[in-house]
């Protein structure tokens, strides 16, 4: 799988697939999958390309999920090489936009499935690929829409392995078996604009909002649990005024976000927040946006198979964590599927000179192969 994995990673990185442009990545993957007997289906929604591929029609269905889109490279002169011209350097690092997030994982998945199908053409169950070009963007017309399509025709995903870069110090040291929910808000506190020399003729919305914001920051929303840290509240932006020092602003806009555990619900967070705002007597409006509910895959076949594969290939025992941002696993887990995330190191994701060790991608392909063996091997068909 070694040569395949590295060749495939470079082939994908060469395609400048900045969200939502797939740049032909999915067509290239589909050609490879069709050669293995996969039925491949393009599922575009508006400007987003999605690929659904499946080999077999029996249960269980193990799906490899990921995204071909990448974040913009920024000023390309800051890179040590053109970001979409991948190269393996003398130190063994593969450099290019998407090397870690997550074209390296897609390459490892494809190489592992090729090797597995070649060795076990009559494997048990089914293998699927769910690939989108809308993970780094709004995530409106990507994985969620594909999952809705599958549910409408009663296609059930049993196991899903998402290739997000989960590892911290070594490949496989962390498996993400869940993610926190994300709830954002835009709060507008209204006041009365006026001259700073005549504050009695104005009403400063910044002063009004400050005590309420302080209470929100100091509030304990929950204490977390064995799998999740306590829910966090973070203010990401405050804006008021026109930039002058002698005008009391008429409104104050605040952006904030909750990353929440399974110990609290979205509705509870909204209700408690608005109760605090009301208690402080604010004249306000608030717009809420739920980006994802928290999800958790407790110990089960997928977690155990993935842990065993990592141990077999690397000798290390992976840690189960739910930290980090959201992922497309949030669209798949609510269907009842077991979901884990396992990918390369996340040290350089979204950065200039994004890179991953070539040897790590080889290791990742071996781990994915091990997961396939543990979940879809049927001795009677091998």
**Phi, psi for 213 (deg, rounded to 5):** -65, -40
Exposed / middle / buried, residue 223 (Cβ in 10 Å: 0-12, 13-18, 19+): exposed
Strand partners, 63: 128, 160
Distance separating alpha carbons of residues 297 and 276, to the nearest angstrom: 33
- Angle (nearest 5°) at CA 116 between 114 and 121: 95
- Residues 295 and 110: their CA atoms lie apart, in Å, by 26
Give 30's DSSP letter: H
Is residue 31 among the annotated active site residues?
no
In this structure, what token pair is assigned to residue 135?
A: 């993970």
User: Are 186 and 329 a contacting pair, CB within 8 Å?
Assistant: no
Question: Which residues touch 268 (CB under 8 Å, ≥6 apart)?
Answer: none
Sheet holding 232-240, edge to edge: 232-240, 251-260, 181-190, 284-292
Residue 146 buriedness (CB in 10 A; 0-12 / 13-18 / 19+): buried
| HSE-up (13 A, CA, CB side) for residue 221 | 28
Question: Which tokens sit at 75?
Answer: 């000023």
Q: Is 234 exposed, middle or buried (0-12, 13-18, 19+ CB in 10 A)?
A: exposed
Tell me the C-alpha distance between 174 and 166, whole Å: 6
Q: Of 134, 135, 341, 360, which one is the catalytic site residue?
A: 135
Give kind and range of the element (H or E) at residue 341. Answer: strand 338-341
From the list 22, 49, 69, 373, the catalytic residue is 69
| Dihedral (Cα; 77, 169, 3, 23), 10-degree rounding | -40
Please indicate whether residue 21 is annotated as part of the active site: no
The residues annotated as belonging to the active site are 69, 135
């Amino acid at each position: 799988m070694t040569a395949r994995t590295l060749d495939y990673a470079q082939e994908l990185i060469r395609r400048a697939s900045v969200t939502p442009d797939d740049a032909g990545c999915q067509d290239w993957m589909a050609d490879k999958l069709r050669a293995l007997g996969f039925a491949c289906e393009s599922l575009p929604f508006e400007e987003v390309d999605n690929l659904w591929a499946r080999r077999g029609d029996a249960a269980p269905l193990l799906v490899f999920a990921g995204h071909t889109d990448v974040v913009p490279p920024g000023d390309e002169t800051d890179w040590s090489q053109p970001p979409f011209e991948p190269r393996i350097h003398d130190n063994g690092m593969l450099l290019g936009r998407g090397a870690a997030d997550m074209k390296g994982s897609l390459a490892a998945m494809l190489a592992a499935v090729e090797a597995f199908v070649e060795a076990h053409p009559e494997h048990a169950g089914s293998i699927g690929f769910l690939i989108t070009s809308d993970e780094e963007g709004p995530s409106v017309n990507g994985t969620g829409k594909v999952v809705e399509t599958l549910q409408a025709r009663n296609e059930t995903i049993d196991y899903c392995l998402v290739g997000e870069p989960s590892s911290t110090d070594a490949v496989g040291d962390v498996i993400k078996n869940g993610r926190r929910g994300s709830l954002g808000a835009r709060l507008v506190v209204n006041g009365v604009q006026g001259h700073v020399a005549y504050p009695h003729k104005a009403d400063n919305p910044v002063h009004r909002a400050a005590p309420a914001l302080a209470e929100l920051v100091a509030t304990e929303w929950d204490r977390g649990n064995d799998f999740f840290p306590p829910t966090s509240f973070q203010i990401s932006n405050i804006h008021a005024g026109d930039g002058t020092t002698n005008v009391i602003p008429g409104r104050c806009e605040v952006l904030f976000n909750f990353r929440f555990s399974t110990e609290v619900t979205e509705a509870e967070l909204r209700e408690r927040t608005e109760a605090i705002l009301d208690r402080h007597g604010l004249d306000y409006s608030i717009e809420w946006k739920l980006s994802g509910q928290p999800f958790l895959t407790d110990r089960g076949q997928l977690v155990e198979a993935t842990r065993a594969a990592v141990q077999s290939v690397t000798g290390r025992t992976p840690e189960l964590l739910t930290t980090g941002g959201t992922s497309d696993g949030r669209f798949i887990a609510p269907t009842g599927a077991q979901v884990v995330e396992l990918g390369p190191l996340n040290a350089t994701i979204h950065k200039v000179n994004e890179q991953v060790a070539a040897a790590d991608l080889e290791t990742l392909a071996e781990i994915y192969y091990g997961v396939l063996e543990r979940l879809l091997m049927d001795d009677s068909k091998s």
